[in-house]
Structure 1
């Protein structure tokens, strides 16, 4: 019994040491999140599972190292990939690669090599606030060869209002953030552009969106994501 108690105390202490709080957001090794993606007709199209592997300090910032894995509607999993979130104390720097992977359904056998990857949120959101642009640039590799390049920019980001949102993970008081998104693929010299509108719902104490909706240039809903689990 003494050995069991000692082991439990050691594990608890270890987790507590690795737990950090920055801007009111809990950063803790072992945390996990599940984002589920749906079609406009509410059909499940996939999931992205996030597992926090490490929380550490880099200078004055708190960094959360996460392993993410996409799972399609049939339960088939793709290779896991790293995701990083950085909290400076003034802003949260979010990783866009999960969004890109969720949108890019034909990446099943490709590796994504990020070149630019930054989307920031201030310490506290408020209605009427304008947010800085975000950008992600990546090469898509197959067998070490670059097969395509991908670029995603988010502009005209603004906090338009507040709204209560309920998901399988709970009910959240959120801020509605709108943005223009341009998604561009370049394959064998051919460029395909997809201008879109993104509406996301966020809280000040979560790293991931509670809900996110994507609309095409004509305002038609293309799909949405929900935070379905948060442990």
Structure 2
């Protein structure tokens, strides 16, 4: 459960930056646009594939809203989960609704088990314009799950977010001029903490090109690369 929440939260931040053709220069705003990312473990072996599709785009006043569909399959091609989440772009800032980050099938499953879930947090905010040295706002989500008098609390936070530099990155999808963003991801369950450091490469007109996750001691845990992009 904790790992799933962290995965969804980090994935959402990766794909939420500056959403909207009229709202940003980073991501294309076309319904049906799709991305495919291959996830690799620390040894460089394929661990699964994450696919994203722009499902719906609407305008409400000065705001642009989009629904992003997410599907994750393991290394054998079996679907692990699918979900969607909501993004709003307004006043030169993109906000991700933290409550929509949780897969609906997971929410229904726990509800059927008689479990109550209380979700709170801070929407992920990302500015449209990036510059080297820029610091980005922190984000977090907290989940309190209770059943038959027992409660389990899970907290995931993204902190120390900063635009480090610009550099060229090559993946199976091509070569891209990217901004490198670093951040710290900390998850806590019933007092037990786990900290990960993330490097995220973003390209104008495409979005996330590459992402690497490291342990607190600097050892590589996983890598994700853009392998297909259809607009």
TM-score, structure 1 normalization: 0.74
Deviations 1:12-35 (A, max 9, x none): xxxxxxx95321232111111112
The whole-number CA distance in structure 2 between the counterparts of 1:196 and 1:73 is 23
The whole-number CA distance in structure 2 between the counterparts of 1:20 and 1:118 is 21
Does the 8 Å CA contact 1:124/1:204 hold for their aligned counterparts?
no
Task: Give the C-alpha shift of residue 160 in structure 1.
Answer: 1.0
- 2:174 corresponds in structure 1 to 170
Does the 8 Å CA contact 2:98/2:121 hold for their aligned counterparts?
no
Is 2:183 the partner of 1:179? yes
Q: How many residues align?
A: 200
Distance change (3 Å), C-alpha of 1:99 and 1:64: closer
Distance change (3 Å), C-alpha of 1:135 and 1:178: same
Bigger-Rg structure (1/2): 1
- 2:191 corresponds in structure 1 to 191
Distance change (3 Å), C-alpha of 1:225 and 1:69: same
Aligned residue for 1:27, secondary structure, equals coil
The whole-number CA distance in structure 2 between the counterparts of 1:184 and 1:124 is 32
- 1:67 corresponds in structure 2 to 69
- 2:40 corresponds in structure 1 to 38
**Greater RCO between the two (CA within 8 Å, min separation 6)?**
2
Distance change (3 Å), C-alpha of 1:72 and 1:175: same
Structure 1 runs of 4+ aligned residues shifted over 6 Å read 95-101, 109-113
- 1:83 corresponds in structure 2 to 85
Aligned residue for 2:129, secondary structure, equals coil
Does the 8 Å CA contact 1:20/1:62 hold for their aligned counterparts?
no
1:124 aligned to 112, 129, 137, which one?
129
Deviations 1:131-150 (A, max 9, x none): 111223346799xxx98543
Task: Give the C-alpha shift of residue 182 in structure 1.
Answer: 0.4
Task: Give the C-alpha shift of residue 64 in structure 1.
Answer: 1.2
| Backbone CA RMSD of aligned residues | 3.2
